[in-house]
Amino acid sequence: MLDQNNCGIADEAAEAERETAAYLAQRRVDWEAWVEALPTKDQRYFHRNKVKRTYESAMVRAGKAAPPWLTTEDKKQILAIYEAAEAMHMATGIPHEVDHIVQLFGKNKAGEQVISGLHVPWNLRAIPKSLNRKRGDWFFIGDLENCETAGDASLASFIIHDDYDEIPF
C-alpha cells in the first residue's frame, strides 16, 4: 500500500538501498573468488592486503612528516582513512586516494615551498583520485579580509580567491 504523503518515494529509496547492498555483496564475493583463484599464496596475500601496503608505504614516504609521537590509536585512525578510500572505490567504481589537507610539501604558484603539513589523522581525508591529482601540491594562500561575525568587526577570515571551486581544499 502506498503512503499518500510520500508517493512511494521511501519505498523506492529502500529498494535502491537493498539493490546497492546486494550489488556490493556480489562484487565482494566475485573479488574473493578471483583472489582465491590466484596460483600462489603470495599473490593472494598481496591482493588481500592492498590497503595495509598502501598505508605502510605512505608512512615511509611521509618520512619526517609522520611525527614520532603518533600513538597506536592515531595510526589506527590513519589506516581507517585508507580503508575508507578503498571502500569508496569499491562502492562507486571511482578510484579514491588519501589526500593531505595541508600538503606535506605545499608550494605556491611560483613553485616555492611555503608550508609543510604532517601525516596525521586530522590532516587526511579520502577524495576522488582525479581531484587529488588536480589539486597536486599547491597551497592556496587566501587574502585576509575583515568580516562581521556576531557584531565583532575585529574578526578576520581567510577568503580563497582562485578558479578551483570544484576542488575541496
Are 149 and 98 in the same domain?
Answer: yes
Q: Do both 97 and 16 map to the same domain?
A: no
Grid cell listed for 112: 616555492
Do 9 and 79 share a domain, yes or no? no
Pair (93, 136) in one structural domain: yes
**With a cut of 70, which residues of the chain have pLDDT below it?**
1-8, 137, 139-169
Report the greatest alpha carbon distance in the chain: 69
| Cα angle, residue 78 at apex, residues 70 and 85 outer, rounded to 5° | 170
Range of the domain at 1: 1-38
**75 within some domain:** yes
Residues 1 and 77 grouped into a single domain: no
Same domain for 33 and 53, yes or no, is no
pLDDT of residue 7: 60
pLDDT of residue 5: 56
Find the length of the chain: 169
The pLDDT of residue 152 is 44
What is the pLDDT at residue 159?
Answer: 40
pLDDT at 71 (0 to 100): 94
Nearest CA among 62, 68, 64, 71 for reference residue 98: 62
